[in-house]
Structures are given as structure tokens and as C-alpha cells.
Amino acid sequence: MKNDRLLRALHRLPVDCTPIWIMRQAGRYLPEYRETRERAGDFLTLCQTPELACEVTLQPLRRFELDAAILFSDILTIPDAMGLQLSINEGEGPRFARPLSSSRDIDRLGVPDPEDDLGYVTQAVRVIRRELDGSVPLIGFAGSPWTLATYMVEGQGSRDFVKIKSLMFDQSEAMHRLLNTLVDSVSLYLIAQAHAGAQVLMVFDTWGGALSYHDFCAYSLSPMTRIVQQVRADREASTIPLILFTKGGGQWLANIADSGCDALGCDWTTSLGQARQEVGDRVALQGNLDPAVLYAKPAQIEKAVTRVLDDFGSGDGHVFNLGHGITPGVDPENVRILVEAVHRQSKRN
């Protein structure tokens, strides 16, 4: 590995400067991405065609000195493979043609076989690893069981999560059966990505922050913890660093660290300094610049980088990132400024 900053930081080892990658670094803010996506026709075709997924995965690395690549894909590939028929339309967000609407729907769900049912993902991982040629590590990922369940039951994005929470409150057993199926599915999926070549694994718990503390522990953290255990139980995947990211989970970092993961993603509302005090040196921390900073002037981007680095403080175990995905309206030039600022400002003497 030519650039192993990310792996070292995730293992809380010394680095020459703080590594940075950006959630959704391959995305609509890049003109070359928009061009490739247009060529593909739609978002799902882009995900399902390994050569195109590889192309867009590499695009941001050609522009910026990023310290990692992340597989171009979507968290909803698993429910799609389960037969819920995903569609993703620009501006509208994801939608399932066949959402779960009964306990019977849940019982009928099978655990997808990663190679048979999601072969386009493992194949994309293999192609990307080959093309990366050891330059930077490749991150694989999946959605958390709770987050996948919200889309599967709501059928699309939601504000109040009334359907999934009604299931959770009123049919707790069916909810747990759904989560159990997802724990197995996500675990196999992550292990398969590791076997195909992913060198870091991340679980996106986008909607864990919509839960109360009690319900988060029971319905989001507990399933994620079982995923950590299942991945650890696979000999080949067991040594791969695992990052858990619950958006809106800043109050629960100590609990999430108890899962046994290697690193915690932090959104921008969390003080990394306070987070370190809470989790000690059990885990590395990833984050957490406010994505809106990328709309500011260069001098303000520099200042905001300083604040995040200072907040984390000295010592090892920091992976720089945004606190959430980069938004489509950002000027790519500002991403260059960000990446250079992080490396320059964090350079160890």
C-alpha cells in the first residue's frame, strides 16, 4: 500500500499527516460524475455496472489527494436484492415498489447471497482494487439494519418514521425478526466485500438518530453489534477495520464504542475533543466538518479545518471527513482546498 494513512489512523498508529476522505466523494458535485451517470442512464445502472462503478469511484482520486477510495454503491442494494424493487430518481430519493406491509412480508424475506444476488457489488470491489493498484485503501460499506428497515417499511425516505416506529412499538417481535434477517444479510455482504478486496468496512446508520436512547440501543445498536461480531468471526475479514457511523448519535458514542468496532463516524454536531474524553482510546474517530463549510470562502474553509483538527487535539486516531455526505452544489475547487488544508495543517514535524 503506497498510502496507508487511513489504515494507520484507524488503528490509532502515528501518521505523517491526518488522512482525509469524504462521504459521497464520488457524486453529483463532480462534472465528470454527472457525465458518467448520464451515460449510464440512471443511478442504479451506475451501481450495477462494475466498470462504471469503478470509473466513478476513481474520479475524485484523480482530482484530489484523497487518502481512500470508497466503493460506489448504495445502502439499499440489500433490500433490492430481497425483491423490494428499488428505484432512485434524481431529486426524489429512493423508493421501493414493494415495501414491507405486513408481518408475513417480513417472514418471506430471505438472506441474499452476496455472490449470487449482489455479484455486481463484489465484482465492482474486485475491479476497483485492481485499478487502485495499491495506491490507497478501498472502503466497502453497508447500511445498518435499522436504517435499511426504515426504508423497507416506509417504502421511501421519511420525516416522522411513523410506519417503522409503529411496527417497532406494536409488533416488536416482527421488528426483531426483520432486524435479524438484516443482521445476517449485512454481515454476509460485508464479509463478501472483504473477501473481494475491501480493506476497511463502514456501516452507515443514517437514521439511528431518529430513535430514543432506549430504542437506539435495542433496535439499532444491538443489531450493529451483532454485525461487528459476525464480521470478526470470519477469519479473513476479522482484521479489517470497522467504522460505525450513526448520524445524530453524538450522545451515544460511548455505547457505540462498546460494540467492538474500530472507529466511530461523528457528524458535525459533535465536539471531537469531548468525544475523545467519552470514548477514551478505545476507538479512532472519523469526521466531522460541517458539509456547509464547503460553500464558504477559502479562508473560512481553512479556519474551519483548524477548528476540527484543534478540537481533536494531538495524538493518533483521527480520520478527517465531513460530518455527512458532500452536497451536489459544492464547487470542486473547494474540495481541493479542503484536502490540501487538512494535509498541510496536520503535518507532523
Between 241 and 250, name the residue whose CB sits nearer to its own copies. 250
CA distance 60 to 134: 16
C-alpha cell of residue 264:
466511530
CA distance 72 to 177: 29
C-alpha cell of residue 91:
431529486
> Which of 316, 312, 309 lies closest to 345 in space, CA to CA?
309
Q: Least distance (Å) from its own copies to the CB of residue 170?
A: 5
Q: CA torsion sign, 262 to 302 to 132 to 121?
A: positive
Q: How far is CA 181 from the centre of its chain?
A: 20
Q: What is the dihedral of CA 10, 16, 17, 21, to 10 degrees?
A: -50
CA distance 315 to 251: 23
What number of residues does the chain have? 349
245 contacts 264 by C-beta, under 8 angstroms: yes
Between 104 and 214, name the residue whose CB sits nearer to its own copies. 214
Between 78 and 304, name the residue whose CB sits nearer to its own copies. 304
CA distance 277 to 10: 18
Between 172 and 239, name the residue whose CB sits nearer to its own copies. 172
Binding stretches for its own copies (CB under 8 A): 160-162, 165-166, 169-170, 209-216, 248, 250-251, 268-271, 274, 288, 290-293, 295-297, 300, 304, 307, 311, 323, 327, 329
Q: Least distance (Å) from its own copies to the CB of residue 22?
A: 16
- Is the peptide bond prior to 288 cis by the omega test (within 30 degrees of 0)? yes
Between 209 and 332, name the residue whose CB sits nearer to its own copies. 209
C-alpha cell of residue 226:
451483532
Q: Least distance (Å) from its own copies to the CB of residue 187?
A: 27
Q: Which residues lie closer than 8 Å to 176 by C-beta, 6 or more apart? A: none
Between 167 and 192, name the residue whose CB sits nearer to its own copies. 167
User: Residue 284: helix, strand or coil by DSSP?
Assistant: strand
Q: Least distance (Å) from its own copies to the CB of residue 106?
A: 18
Q: Least distance (Å) from its own copies to the CB of residue 68?
A: 23
Residues annotated as catalytic are: 24, 28, 37, 74, 151
CA distance 317 to 6: 9
Between 280 and 329, name the residue whose CB sits nearer to its own copies. 329
Q: Least distance (Å) from its own copies to the CB of residue 125?
A: 31
Q: Least distance (Å) from its own copies to the CB of residue 31?
A: 19
Written as one string, the DSSP assignment of 217-252 is IIIIIHHHHHHHHHHHTSTTTTTS-EEEEETT-GGG
C-alpha cell of residue 285:
474517530
